[in-house]
Amino acid sequence: MAAPECLDPRNPDSQWPYCPSYASAIAFTTLFGAVTLAHYIQAFLFRKPFCWVVCMASTWEAIGFALRIMGARDPRAESFATVSQILILLAPLWVNAFVYMVVGRIVYFWLPEKRIWGIKATSLTRWFVWFDVMVFLIQAAGGLMLTGAGENDEDRKVTKIGLNIYMTGIGVQQGVLVIFIALMISFHVRALREGKS
């Protein structure tokens, strides 16, 4: 196998806008691989099928960094750079979806009326996961446009549009998270009032 190689990011053959660190990619692949294994084992042992969502997040991260290892060895290979970037950019959305699912269950089991802000616990999960899917699609579209970076003006325009689309997705995601945090603060205050901690 080839040794890690660093191409100048301005080199038209380079698929990376920076020099991917081989050592860091190995470290993060190992860490995410261990976390992934732990998630799968816990989901199986505790019989929690809904945990497939967090398993998917850590799997995407582990695969993304494994591809970065290969990309550090072959910085000219577009497939390593493209798939690695997409998986690493989108994996956190799976984590958000998992948190929304867990919070829906917490509201269901902790609050006697099984609702918060007038929203049923089951609907709460559904709404936030749908927002997450919408953000996922926006960020995926922008992320795919980011991967085609080239040297000519047309490629730069597409890359800029892709970055704007991706950042719009990030903005929507942050807005949803602010609403979610406000909802969680409200839940926490109610749980304290009812003597649950």
CB 127 within 8 A of CB 180: no
| Close Cβ partners of 190 (under 8 Å, ≥ 6 residues apart) | 111, 116
pTM for the whole structure:
0.79
Residue 166 near residue 143 (C-beta atoms within 8 A): yes
Task: Give the C-alpha separation, 153 to 96, whole Å.
Answer: 36
Q: What is the pLDDT of residues 22-68, one digit of tens each?
A: 999 999 999 999 999 999 999 999 999 989 999 999 999 999 999 99
What does the pLDDT look like over 120-152, one tens digit per residue? 998 998 998 899 889 889 988 888 887 665 667
**Residues 106, 147 contacting (CB under 8 angstroms):** no
User: Domain boundaries in the chain?
Assistant: 22-193
Measured distance CA(70)–CA(1) in Å, rounded: 10
C-alpha–C-alpha distance, residues 173 and 65, integer Å: 23
Average pLDDT, the chain: 88
* 6, pLDDT greater than 80: no
